Amino acid sequence: MQEIPASFWTLLAGIVVTAISFWVGQNHGLFPEQASNQAPLVDGFFNFMFTIAVAFFLVVQGAIVVFIIRYRRRPGDDADGSSVRENLPLEILWTAIPAIIVIGLGVYSVDVYRDMGGLPSSGMMMAHHHSRGSALAAPLEVQTSPALTATTYGLGGAPMAEENHTPDLTVNVTGLQFAWIFNYANQQVTAGELHVPRGQDVLLKMTANDVIHSFWVPQFRIKQDVFPGQFTELRFIATKTGEFPVVCAELCGSYHGGMRTRVIVQEPADFERWLTESQVAQASGQTVAQATPSTLLTSYAQDLGITQETLAQLPH
């Protein structure tokens, strides 16, 4: 019986390894759902790297298994193994292939980082002013000072800035031990949860009050460190409605594990309704804080039909 040539087995192994690598690379199920326009970029890059990693794993581990079986020591064989010297073409091959792969991954990663907005465009404004927001938020906001730099870092540059596209919504984010404060300065609303409209361009301008924090939304595939005395930015478009966790991914103190909140993605109409309700609620909160007891009683008494004479008989 004619022996099957080694080139055939090599070709067959290459086909099997390629098929398995591509399938595993696209069906690993390691990530949560995609919920932003940046998520497919990150997932595509990761899937590409994972496919290559699976291929290398199969080749290396497969070669080890084949060599263990084929070149194992047989009973009664006490001879020395064959002497194998260096193989220059093989050494060049196994050096050149990883080098090409690493360079390719580097170029790919920079392209993904640029598409996510990590590289500032030439016309991007680098200076931003931190808005003070509503009176209710004042005790919780970072105190601006001359030491606070105006330079921004993060995923807030190209490509949307290159197109001179102004964000649809800008939110000032403050990280502090151990909470996130979201200030919608233009709408005079402050919240402990991030509400954003689906399908609209959102820009987060972030800083910290105390130590370094890290703003991470796994479903959005975005994560950005937040520093005291500096601004960082995140710019994204949410593509799915729902509630998604916001996690601090930087060890920031004894209660770091509890520094969590959520981002709530709503349809634009529902988001506008939430803004209006929050504006009314916070305006009422300021009125309650400033009003006298008699003024507050009067407003409730009018709704209940109680006369001023009845109120006057109540003890102060």
Running along the chain, 316 residues long, what does each successive block of 10 average in pLDDT? Answer: 75 91 91 92 94 94 90 83 82 92 94 82 45 36 42 58 74 92 88 93 92 94 92 91 94 91 94 89 64 55 67 64
127 in a structural domain:
no
Domain that holds residue 107: 8-69+93-115
**In this structure, are 277 and 191 located in the same domain?**
yes
**In this structure, are 107 and 175 located in the same domain?**
no
CA torsion sign for 305, 309, 314, 316 is positive
**In this structure, are 28 and 104 located in the same domain?**
yes
The answer to whether the pTM exceeds 0.85 is no
Helix (H) or strand (E) segment spanning residue 231: strand 231-237
**In this structure, are 103 and 189 located in the same domain?**
no
**In this structure, are 173 and 272 located in the same domain?**
yes
**In this structure, are 106 and 196 located in the same domain?**
no
**In this structure, are 198 and 111 located in the same domain?**
no
d(CA 248, CA 215): 5
Phi, then psi, of 159 in degrees rounded to 5: -90, -15
Q: What is the pLDDT of residue 102?
A: 94
Q: What is the pLDDT of residue 281?
A: 82
Contact of 199 with 36, CB cutoff 8 Å:
no
61 in a structural domain:
yes
**In this structure, are 106 and 222 located in the same domain?**
no
248: domain CATH number?
Answer: 2.60.40.420
d(CA 62, CA 173): 50
**In the numeric block, which tokens belong to residue 46?**
């990761």
296 in a structural domain:
no
**In this structure, are 110 and 29 located in the same domain?**
yes
Considering its fold, how many domains does the chain have in total?
2
d(CA 233, CA 119): 12
63 in a structural domain:
yes
Strands 169-176 vs 179-184: parallel, antiparallel or unpaired: antiparallel
309 in a structural domain:
no
Q: What is the pLDDT of residue 32?
A: 92
Contact of 240 with 198, CB cutoff 8 Å:
yes
**In this structure, are 194 and 264 located in the same domain?**
yes
Q: What is the pLDDT of residue 185?
A: 82
Residue 206's Cβ-count burial label (10 Å; 0-12, 13-18, 19+) is buried
19 in a structural domain:
yes
In angstroms, what CA-CA distances link 207 with 1, 173, 210? 75, 6, 9
What's the maximum distance between 2 C-alpha atoms anywhere in the chain?
A: 116
Q: What are the DSSP calls for 125-159, one per residue?
A: ----------GGGGGGS----TTS---EEEE-STT
**In this structure, are 279 and 171 located in the same domain?**
yes
**What is the Cα gyration radius of the chain?**
30
55 in a structural domain:
yes
31 in a structural domain:
yes
